[in-house]
């Protein structure tokens, strides 16, 4: 009966007709409704986050497109470091990657040569005359889409 009375009368009129106990119950119900609304919003936000996370690639297996971009960035980083070395050494290129990593400050922080990184195996061919860096996916179509390479004076190319 109280619910019908509260829902049909304006709040001011309804609260005047209620006993103190009814007013306390009404206040408690209002707090519970507010709590439920807050809980609903929290649950909706959590569901939206879950949906967003479900649409993202698996961090343990980011996929070939992501690994392709990483491979291109690594090759570019190695080529820039090698070219910087040659500019500072009268056009003579390093013969080994450690000439770039084992100096202070290093031309490049990590040596990727003959190592596996982000789904690709990296090969390095270095001489005083130039370089060729090749990134080969461990499994074409799964860890990368194709082989990438960069050479002295040349842009990226893929096979």
Tens digits of residue pLDDT in 13-23 = 555 677 888 88
pLDDT over threshold 60, residue 54: yes
Return the percentage of the chain with pLDDT > 90, whole number.
Answer: 53
Same structural domain, 38 and 96: no
pLDDT over threshold 50, residue 6: no
| Interatomic CA distance for residues 126 and 48, integer angstroms | 50
More confident residue, 10 or 127: 127
Print the domain residue range for 35: 2-55
User: How many distinct structural domains can be found in the chain?
Assistant: 2
**pLDDT tens track for 76-126:** 999 999 999 999 999 999 999 999 999 999 999 999 999 999 999 999 999
pLDDT over threshold 90, residue 36: no
Tell me the sheet residues that pair with 115: 122
Same structural domain, 98 and 43: no
Looking at the chain, list the stretches that DSSP marks H as alpha helix, in order from N- to C-terminal side. Answer: 2-8, 11-17, 20-55, 64-88, 98-101
Q: Write down the pLDDT at residue 33.
A: 79
Same structural domain, 104 and 126: yes
Tell me the sheet residues that pair with 69: none
Per-residue pLDDT band at 145 (split at 50, 70, 90): very high
Same structural domain, 105 and 32: no
């Amino acid at each position: 009966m109280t619910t019908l009375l509260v829902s049909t009368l304006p709040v001011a009129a309804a609260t005047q007709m209620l006993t103190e106990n009814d007013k306390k119950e009404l206040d408690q119900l209002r707090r519970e409704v507010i709590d439920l609304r807050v809980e609903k919003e929290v649950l909706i936000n959590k569901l939206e986050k879950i949906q967003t996370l479900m649409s993202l690639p698996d961090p343990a297996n980011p996929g070939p497109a992501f690994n392709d971009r990483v491979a291109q960035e690594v090759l570019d980083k190695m080529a820039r470091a090698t070219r910087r070395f040659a500019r500072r050494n009268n056009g003579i290129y390093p013969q080994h990657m450690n000439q770039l990593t084992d100096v202070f400050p290093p031309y490049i922080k990590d040596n990727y040569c003959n190592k596996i990184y982000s789904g690709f195996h990296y090969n390095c061919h270095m001489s005083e005359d130039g370089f060729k860096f090749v990134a080969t996916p461990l499994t074409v179509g799964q860890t990368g889409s194709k082989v990438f390479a960069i050479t002295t004076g040349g842009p990226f190319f893929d096979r």
